[in-house]
Amino acid sequence: GAGVSQSPSNKVTEKGKDVELRCDPISGHTALYWYRQSLGQGLEFLIYFQGNSAPDKSGLPSDRFSAERTGGSVSTLTIQRTQQEDSAVYLCASSATNEQFFGPGTRLTVL
């Protein structure tokens, strides 16, 4: 079956612009996670959605970052007023039980 998909695969933007990154989880998976992978920081948790519960936003680095999940499926991560330090690969994962399946990521470059 289809895995987790993310779009776009690559995004280049200018400092100060807003960006939206999309994640399509595996059908039927109730949990969805966003992580960020950068050279200096490794893999960092950003935000976690589980069903209809309030999301765990404890990993978001600043109020410029937000995410929503519509209809319990697709999720969008929004970064406002991008900064150069936001350059990273943004990974999405989904799970039904205790195994997280990761998407290929979106490589964000902020010039």
Tell me which DSSP letter residue 109 carries: E
Q: Which is nearer to other proteins, 14 or 39 (CB)?
A: 39
Considering only residues 69, 105, 106, 108, which one is a binding residue for other proteins as defined by CB under 8 A? Answer: 105
List the x/- string, 47-86, binding to other proteins by CB under 8 A: -x-x-----x--x---------------------------
Closest CA to 19 of 30, 32, 8: 8
Peptide bond into 25 cis (omega under 30): no
Q: What is the C-alpha to C-alpha distance for residues 25 and 20, in angstroms, rounded to an integer?
A: 16
From 15-23, 28-36, 60-68, 73-81, span contacting other proteins (CB under 8 A)? 28-36
